[in-house]
Structures are given as structure tokens and as C-alpha cells.
Structure 1
């Protein structure tokens, strides 16, 4: 069991910001002897979960991609959920995301893109901070206050742009506003070129299931447009509740 736990710790090091790791860096990051780390890497490599990216450098392998696909399929989102997201895409012309909270971060589980919007890859499987994304704030606003404080303690409130909320009191004031108005906004807080509007999504048992958003160029998201997008999302969220039996993840 300890070996499995160590192997999982190795895999969790790989991220969008740090997709490649050397043997020495992994050993240092995990506080493990190089000999132990080498054994773990050799096993993960033989299983296809890691592959060589260069001499002594590793990246996630094809088996990890396959497992990610299986995990996405296993969510078993009802087909009507995608139909509702497609309706939002048609009405807004913006990127539509469905996300869930995962380990104190936003985890994107579905994404639909306008035909003319060029994106290098799908956001599905990607994670993002909660304090500076509309999806994250839409979910934080409806979590237990102690759970929110724990997320802030573990992840902090790092600054990404000049608009990022980095003060806990300012974040709490923002979450209170989200609860009052029924939707959250990202005003270029995570990406200086992007704005977003999001609403919580509820399961039929009234548990928080996730959040739904539209995202696009900040120039499009005027106050009037944001309110219009929010109205569409709030209506769609109500429809989604009929089809989601329990929290998505």
C-alpha cells in the first residue's frame, strides 16, 4: 500500500504548469531517496503511465490518457445535459463549461466551443483556482464556510492579474454578492483577456453538483451582457437539476 501511495504521489506531481519531471526533481519534491524514486518511475514507465521525454526526464504516458477518458465517460452525464449546454452555446456564442469542485480547485468536466473559436485543446480535465474564476466562486458561495476557509488555507489566494482577489475579506464579500444576485463573475481575474459568468448547478437532492459558465473575450462581457448571460445560465441550471440525481463528482 505504501508503494501505491508513493506512486500516486509521483503521478500527482505532473500538471499543466509542470508537465515534465526529472528523476532528481521528483525525488527532491517528494523527499524520497533516488533509488526508491527510480524504482517507482521504472514501474510506472513499464505500465505506460509514464514515458520518457528525454534522458532522465518523464511525462505522463498514453495509459494516463486512456484512464482520463474512462473517468470522463464514467461520469455518465445524461445526454440531455449536453443538449442544454449546446442550447447555451447557441444563445450566447461563448464557450460553455461544466465544472465540479475537486480538492479545493475547479475541475472542468465538459466544454463546448463556438465553431469559430480556435482553441489549442479542450479544457476537460484541467483544473483552475476557485477564488479567481467565476465557476469557482459560484461553488464557493454555496459551500460550508469552514470548507471555504480550509480551501483558502491550503491553496492561498495567489494573484494572477491585477484584478485577482487576494484578501480573504474581499473574497467573502464577493461570495456574499454571488449569493444575493445568483451568479458569479470573473472580471479578468485569472486571465487578463478573459471574462466569465457562472451559476451553481444543483442535484435533485439539493446538493451542490457543480457549476455552469460562459466564458469569452472580456470586451464582450459588459454588465448588461453579463446579466443577460446569467439569466440564460440560471434558467439552464434549473433545467439541469431535473436530470442530475447526485453531485457529479
Structure 2
């Protein structure tokens, strides 16, 4: 609804740039004049918007001097497609695992140094772990986050620590870089990650890697439950099922079976 009041958080220049990008969903190439007519913007202003988008790699020019999507825009689109593929292809395996175990199963990716949940199926027990798509969690204190950090270059791990720190959530939380590096080394060696009440008292989680077409761990699948139902014996029984579900998702995403295994 238009009220006539100016939105103090609205960035007009960014809005114009997004309007331009939106045009390429309707037509693969545009001239300056065509865009000016389509958007009702003057050419001088639009030229600056196009120049900025081109400099950032979101637009380029073809052999005829027409504006076309650039590599950055293609990469952004491909990332969105991959995430949607991950969300929906992971759903049947995690539904099966949740039904089999009665526990909450979720899939997450690492984004800007945090774990973002992209798919979740809640368990059937009255007392269970609750999650939601879009939930963000600290990487150093979660099984999914530690698993994904374990396969990052050291410099990226250090950047995450510098950006987010290692805040304590429970007595079991890892709070020093040295302890985190040791934990990540162990995770790489064993191929799975635990969360032993590190983010919330009474909550435990096991996570296994989901690998992409290159065999690189790009997401993680985890199962979470109250610590009272996840003693050492049950963890040992559930872990192979978690790995199998993660492997199934990996194969559905085109990962080489040997790398996913």
C-alpha cells in the first residue's frame, strides 16, 4: 500500500539496479535505449547504473554492444539453483531418517561463517529438537558447522573466528582457536561431527557431509535429539544411518559415490 511517506531505509540507486537486473529475466539482452523505455528512466542515470553493474561483473556486453548477464549474475543464479536442488532432493532421505528414528533431521550450509538450515523434518517425539528453514546457528558450536569448517582452508577458518569469535553457550562449547583446530582435525579424520551439548544443554547432534559434483563437502546432514535419548550406544547405532542418508543426498546431487562415501 502506498502512503506517500518516504521509506528511510529505501536505497533508490540499489532499487534501480535491481530493476535493471530483473529485466534480464524477461529478455536475454537489452540496449540502453530499450532499458530506458522499459523502466521509464533517463539514459544518463541508467548509463551509470549499467556501468556499475558491468564493473561488478553482473552485466557484460555482447559483440553487438548489447547488455547481457555477466558471470557474477550467472554464478548467483547457479548458487540459487544448487540450493533449491539441495532443499528438495534432500527431503525424501531426511523424511525417511526422521520417520525411522523419530528424531529431527536437518540439512544446512555454511553462509558468511554461520550455519543456515535449508531443510528440516521434525521428529515425532513429544520432546524433540525444533528447527526451521532459514535458522542460523554458530558454526563452532554445532555439528553441521564444525563438519563444514573442517573441510575449509585454514585461512577461511581463521576468518570465521575473527568475524564471529568463539562465544560460549554451554560448559561444553569450544571457545579457543586451538581446541577448535584440534576438533576440526579429528572431524576430518573420522568423517563426521558431533555436537555434545555444545550449543544447548541437553541437546546432542550427529552430522555427516553432503558432497557436490566435485566430491567437495558443500552441505551437512544432521540428526538432533535430547541427550537423554542419545547416549553413546544410540549414537553408535544412529551414525551409520546418518551417513547413509547423507550419501544418498550426495549421489542425488551428482557426487562421485567414492568421494561421497
Shorter-chain TM-score tier: 0.5 to 0.7
Specify the structure having the higher radius of gyration (Cα): 2
Structure 1 CA distance, aligned partners of 2:83 and 2:138? 24
Report what 2:147 is aligned to: 138
Matched, 1:177 2:146: no
Question: How far, CA to CA, are the matches of 1:91 and 1:200 in structure 2?
Answer: 20
Q: Is 2:124 the counterpart of 1:115?
A: yes
Query: CA shift at 1:208, angstroms?
Result: 2.2
| TM-fit CA distance, 1:104 | 0.3
CA distance in 2, matches of 1:197, 1:130: 14
Unaligned stretches of 5+ in structure 1?
1-36, 44-70
Shift in Å at residue 81 of structure 1?
2.2
Within 2, Cα distance between the matches of 1:201 and 1:98?
A: 9
Query: Which has the larger displacement, 179-188 or 224-233?
Result: 224-233
Which residue of structure 2 lines up, in the alignment, with residue 40 of structure 1? 9
Q: Distance in 1 between matches of 2:129 and 2:180?
A: 31
Asked if structure 1 preserves the Cα contact closer than 8 Å seen for 2:167 and 2:175, the reply is yes
Q: Deviations over 1:12-69 (max 9, x none)?
A: xxxxxxxxxxxxxxxxxxxxxxxxx9722799xxxxxxxxxxxxxxxxxxxxxxxxxx
CA contact (8 A) 2:104 2:128 kept: no
Residue 211 of structure 1 pairs with residue 180 of structure 2? no
- How far apart are 1:75 and its partner, in Å? 1.4
CA contact (8 A) 1:78 1:243 kept: no
Contact kept in structure 2, 1:72 and 1:109, CA below 8 Å: no
**After the TM superposition, which of the residue ranges 162-171 and 198-207 deviates more from structure 2?**
198-207
Structure 1 residues 141-156: aligned runs within 5 Å: 141-156=150-165
Q: More relative contact order in 1 or in 2 (CA 8 Å, sep 6+)?
A: 1
Question: Structure 1 residues 186-195 or 118-127, which shifts more?
Answer: 118-127
Q: Is the 8 A contact 2:170 2:197 kept in 1?
A: yes
2:102–2:124: 8 Å Cα contact kept in structure 1? no
Q: Structure 2: how far apart are the matches of 1:73 and 1:148?
A: 23
Tell me by how many angstroms 1:92 deviates: 1.9
Residue of structure 1 in register with 2:249 after alignment: 240
TM-score by length of 1: 0.66
2:91 aligned residue: 82
Give the count of matched residue pairs: 183
Q: Give the whole-Å Cα distance in 2 for the aligned partners of 1:193 and 1:244.
A: 34
Supply the distance in 1 between the matched residues of 2:111 and 2:143 (Cα, whole angstroms).
15
Length-normalised TM-score, structure 2? 0.63
